[in-house]
Structure 1
Amino acid sequence: MSDFIQWTYDNRIQISIDLAAGSVSGIANCISSHPLDTVKVRMQMSNDGVHSTLKKIVQNEGTKGFYKGMSFPILSIPITNAIVFSVYEFWKSFFIGNSNKQLTYFQTAICGSIAGSSAAFFSCPIELTKCKLQMQSTDKIYKNPIDCIYQIYQKEGFKSLFRGMCATQQREILGYSAQFAVYELIKDFLCNLSQKAEPSTANLLISGGLAGVSCWTIGYPQDTIKTILQCQQPSDQALYKVRFYDGGFLDCLRKKIIQEGIGSIWKGYSVCILRSFYANAIGFYAYELAKENFTSLYQIY
């Protein structure tokens, strides 16, 4: 244990750099992805298609409707992303130590799953607040994120802020394990294809984009159930027959498929994949660029 603490202390600068770079990545990802994320959430909670969802938002709420619920994520997602990237890099370094060997893609996936699990405790209440605000169309129940959290806490108790945790954990563990493994795999493949030791900008953008697609593809059904569990009203309990406080993931999944078919858990997937490609391409590129610049600054000073 003392060796582990000493190793952590020796690598505190690198951990700080990873935290800072992860925060930059989170901001870039959030700004670029939030409008289509709102469309995705609305589609998951309705029978509308892409066109009708877009039309309703524009007609009833204007373009600002796409940015509902963004204030809380823009402040909190940098923290979540910082945790994801720093935990991921921490376990990468822990596995290889001071050697120059490269992790296998399976080991990379394990590091990603640990990072995802760590992030879920922060992302669950953030997602709950974001989704509640995104679902407000004409009736404004919550004034802002703080009011949303306060009302949920007052009416349903503290643990209700973690509604959908089971689904969130599954999404984050599976999604991030796939994301980081695919990112490293595609990046290495493109480097070998171009016969260059260092990845180019195009390489990083393509690798990040495909990593995002893989992340959301493997985690999308869980995300749909998470949205239902977090956004349903007490009056919907008779319809979905889900338990509020323990997540009710399997029960909700089974009822959703029985009532609406297997395709119902993939509502909004097309929008999500478009968003995940460009947002994660930007996010990973921002992370790599920020990490390089922060490392250079540290070496100078």
Structure 2
Amino acid sequence: MSNSPSPSTADRLIAIPAGICSGATKLLVGHPFDTVKVRMQTEGAHGRFKGPLDCLMSTVRGEGLRALYRGATPPLIGWTLMDSTQLVTLTNLRLLLQSNHPSTPLSTAEHALAGTGAGFVVSFVATPIELLKAKLQVQYNAKGSLAGAEYTGPIDLAQKLVRNHGVTALWHGLGPCLLFRSFFWALWGSYDIYSKFLLKRGYSESATAFLAGGLAANTFWTISYPADVIKNRMMAQKDPGRGAKASDWRYPSIRSCASQILRAEGMKGFYRGFVPCFLRSFPTNGAAILVFETISSAGKTYFNK
């Protein structure tokens, strides 16, 4: 009798290392773009940058190339945790919809439903990671110096937030994070559509994974970007200090944040930083999904020997 795990168990097992490698790929390829995006989002209409290119050049000129990877430590750990959580959840939800038979095809709507569920679950892991990342990314220090910086790193930042507001402060921004990741239906639903389209036209599985992943990411960000702006504004806002009431925060709620952006900047405010995000999303997510699919495929082949 074979000791190999069942196909559904193999899918679940291989999703863990595949998700970890996917997250590491995102950091390597995408973090500089993400830093520009977050700085553009949080500066507002009358901030210090004229546009994405000016933000990039100003950051490098004033703070050095290393500044593009500022706040990278939380996602270095975080994106591996986030992608493994998201992709393991996605895999399990797909298997649930397939009644634990991985060969059963899913409809596009079912892929979208699994994506929504994965987005909801990963939000609880993503919120503290993205909170620390956003606050660190908007610290402006010459040539990477920490002189005068409010936070010397993610641990110092986490300690100060917990000291001021308790451990729940690390989940400040969970609401907008859930709102943003509820759009994962668009990512995984469109990925299914693009994959089928490309495979029918003779593209290899690797090329399909990269191209469909990049196109799906562009689709997702086009739809979800305003929610990401709200999320990052709320996460990056200055901590008013210990004992602060809700009214002491610049953006105490999703509604107030959206209202302030709309009133001060119009609809354009919800798409500040969109260009670097859009440019980043194709190679970053295409590469990450290619890595996930490649490792998943190799793992399934190994388990099924």
TM value normalised by structure 1: 0.88
Structure 1 residues 41 and 239: alpha-carbon distance in aligned structure 2, compared to 1, 3 A threshold = farther
2:189 to 181, 184, 195: 181
Query: Which residue matches 2:87?
Result: 85
Corresponding residue for 1:222?
227
Match of 2:125, SS state, is helix
Work out the CA distance in 1 between the residues paired with 2:134 and 2:262: 22
Q: Take 2:267 and 2:249, find their aligned partners in 1: how far apart are those partners?
A: 15
In 2, distance between residues paired with 1:128 and 1:16?
29
Counterpart position of 1:267 = 272
- Deviation, 1:275, is 0.4
- Mapped partners of 2:192, 2:8: distance in 1: 22
**Deviations for 1:69-128, whole angstroms, at most 9, x for unmatched residues?**
111211121111011111111111111222743111111100000000000001011000
- Structure-2 residue corresponding to 1:51: 53
Deviation at 1:294, TM superposition (A): 2.2
Overall identity of the aligned pairs, in %: 26
Question: Which residue is 1:73 aligned to?
Answer: 75
1:158 to 2:155 alignment: no
TM-fit CA distance, 1:269: 0.4
Partners of 2:13 and 2:21 lie apart in 1 by: 13
C-alpha separation between the residues in 1 aligned to 2:102 and 2:262?
Answer: 49
Equivalent AA in structure 2 for residue 33 of structure 1 = G
Deviation at 1:224, TM superposition (A): 0.6
- More helix per residue: 1
Does 2:88 align with 1:103?
Answer: no
Shift of 1:55: 2.2
Q: Which amino acid aligns with 2:198?
A: L
1:192 to 189, 200, 206: 200
CA contact (8 A) 1:240 1:256 kept: no
Letter in 2 for 1:265: F
CA deviation digits over 1:189-216, x for unaligned, max 9?
Answer: 111122x7xx432222110101111122
Q: Deviations over 1:238-280 (max 9, x none)?
A: 898532xxxx001210121012111011100011000001100
Question: Are the structure 2 counterparts of residues 188 and 157 from structure 1 closer, same or farther at C-alpha, using a change threshold of 3 Å?
Answer: same
User: Is 2:165 the partner of 1:168?
Assistant: no
Q: CA deviation at 1:132?
A: 1.1
Partner secondary structure for residue 111 of structure 1: helix
Q: Give the CA deviation at 1:36.
A: 0.5
Whole-Å Cα distance in 2 between the matches of residues 51 and 238 of structure 1?
35
Name the structure 1 match of 2:19.
22
Q: Residue 127 in 1 paired to residue 130 in 2?
A: yes
SS across alignment from 2:106:
coil
2:22·2:292 contact (CA, 8 Å) conserved in 1? yes
Alignment gaps of 5+ in structure 2: 1-5, 142-147, 241-245
1:113 corresponds to: 116
C-alpha distance in 2 between matches for 1:79 and 1:215: 21
Q: CA RMSD in A?
A: 2.2
Cα distance in structure 1, aligned partners of 2:36 and 2:17: 30
Q: Distance in 2 between matches of 1:145 and 1:241?
A: 22
Assess if the C-alpha contact under 8 Å between 1:240 and 1:255 holds in 2.
no
Partners of 1:240 and 1:252 within 8 A in 2: no
Deviation at 1:156, TM superposition (A): 2.3
Name the count of aligned residue pairs: 285
8 A contact 1:242–1:251 mirrored in 2: yes
Q: In the alignment, residue 22 of structure 1 is paired with which amino acid?
A: G
